[in-house]
Every structure is written in C-alpha cells, then in structure tokens.
Amino acid sequence: MKIEKANAGHLTNFEVLDFLRSRGAKTDPMGCLGAVAASECKVYEYLLNTPACNQTRESVARFAEECERFKLTHAEKQNIINWRPSSAPDVFAMIEECDKRFSKDERGVPCNAEERIEELLGLVNEVLPPPPTKPEDEVDVDMNDV
C-alpha cells in the first residue's frame, strides 16, 4: 500500500473497505496473491464483519451531513459510522460528556438529553444500513446449556 498524502485525515472503516475492494481484495487468501498484500486481505476479511460492509458512500455522506445538528467532533462521527451504536449506553461510550452536551439543542436551548440521544439513534437507524448478522454457527452459546 502506498501513502499518497500523509496526514490527510482519518478514514472510516467503510472508506478502507472500499479502497481494499477497489484493489481487488478477497476473503480467499489465494485469490489475493499478487493483487494485494496478505495483511490487506486480513483487514478486508475483518471489515466484512463490521457495519462497514453494508454501508455506501451515500449513506456515510448523508449521515455526516445530517448529524451536524448534534455538534459532534470528527472523531465522534467517525466512531458512530464505524460502530453504528444501537443503544444509549453505546452512544455514551462514543461521545465525550454526552449527558452534558446533549442537554441543549443545536440552538443552545435546554432540552432532555435522553430525547436527543434517541433522536441520534433514530438518525443512525434511518440513514446507516443495519450491521451484518452473525451466521447460525457463530451464535453465542450459553455455557449453562452445555
């Protein structure tokens, strides 16, 4: 992999996945030979199991645009795009001082932080495609059942 522009910014998982697809990465290591490095194939295989695998350039751009009203940092937007939170605790883990920052709306008017978090989660569900589902053979097993 050649670095075209050093420190040009952080990439989302979708952008890395899209780049690896364009280079010909595959999940079959033998199919990758010559096109991309083996390490790139491993990264590609990993990213296929993240929310990035179902995202599109349009959905990522639309989310980045529509979440401006939440005044998120670039890193927070990137985390949300990469990991696609599905609950309030997930959002709290991704946004610094979430309860304090979400207690005011985009105009600075006090509001209910929980409602703003639910609004953000609604935007995530509306704009970003659902994450991949686990295959049946990877479903978590309760050790008490064994």
How do residues 54-93 score in pLDDT, each as one tens digit?
999 999 999 999 999 999 999 999 999 999 999 999 999 9
What's the whole-model pTM score? 0.82
Q: What percentage of the chain exceeds 90 in pLDDT?
A: 64
Q: Choose the CATH number for 56-127 among 1.10.10.60, 3.40.50.2000, 1.20.1250.40, 2.40.50.140.
A: 1.20.1250.40
Q: What are the extents of the domains in the chain? A: 13-53, 56-127
DSSP 1-61: ---SSTT-----HHHHHHHHHHHT--SSHHHHTTTS-HHHHHHHHHHTTSGGGG--HHHHH
